Amino acid sequence: MSLPDWWTIDPNQPFTLGPRLFPGRIWTASGCFAYGLTGHDMKSANFTSPYQGLGAVVTKTVTPQPRAGNPMPRLAETPMGAINSIGLENVGFGEFLAETLPALERKGVPTVVSLAATRPDEFGDMVAMLHETAAGFTHWHGVEINLSCPNVAEGGHDFGRDPATVSACVRAARRNLPDRALLAKLTPNVTDIAELATAAAEAGVDAVSAINTVIGLEVDLETGRPVLPRRFGGYSGPAIRPIALAKVDEIVTRAGVPVVAVGGIGDFRDALKFFALGAVAVQVGTAQMRDPFAAARISRNLIRG
């Protein structure tokens, strides 16, 4: 397939998002390229590095305290994707600031830091500490707040479904992030995602990332039980692309906020569909876990000429 006549954007050219100039429009999704430190020794016949052409690496989500994650197994592949129940396993915010983020800066990785918390004030505190620590970093471009987290203070429900809480989280982060891009990653497990995007936009977000995984379950026919110990997980991969396209279209047409699209993008054709709907950038997730050069390949294949 050749590129369509309407496609004139070079994804490797810098573009402005909020207060920040990003190196390009093809990103990797949170958790799908780890923290962004593990690909520097990888080579292929066609690419000098899996970072080639990347506009940003969204880090594995970081929480205030280290998390061991959920019991194994945590990942189940399906014919059209994967269901994960990682449980936000991560090194914790303190070690991330002290070790991981400086290492990303030294290696020149264009970075968006993914943060998760259980209350709006926690987001504000984490962003304030991040900005104080990394204010002079060149390659740190922004923060993506993960709004699909349980709100412990309100009984454990997914507070990312509540526009008022989305607004409060964005406001808390925005007041401490004056010169980097702020993105809110939205859950698709709602009736009206544009309502969430509008709340985020009015609170000061520069873009929304859409979509996060959809709720899924797979059954082991030998045991008759769900394959994941926690039964449900986040479903990602090619099967959710039509859902992601519909949700992105809702946001673009109704919320008027820039969208960084994610959900089922496996090749340049998939990326083009989101760009056609008005997305300003795309994130490559499940495909990147299967092939660390997936995002680099998409970036190259979108260069006209």
CA distance 191 to 12: 35
Burial group, residue 91, by CB count within 10 angstroms (0-12, 13-18, 19+): middle
Is 149 noted as a catalytic residue in this protein? yes
Which one of 149, 248, 280, 282 is the catalytic residue?
149
Match 């959900």 to its residue by tokens: 263
Check: CB of residue 151 under 8 Å from CB of residue 157.
yes
CA distance 230 to 12: 40
Tokens at 180, concatenated: 């980097």
Cα dihedral sign, 104-107-108-109? negative
CA atoms within 13 A on the CB side of 279: 29
Residues designated as active site: 149
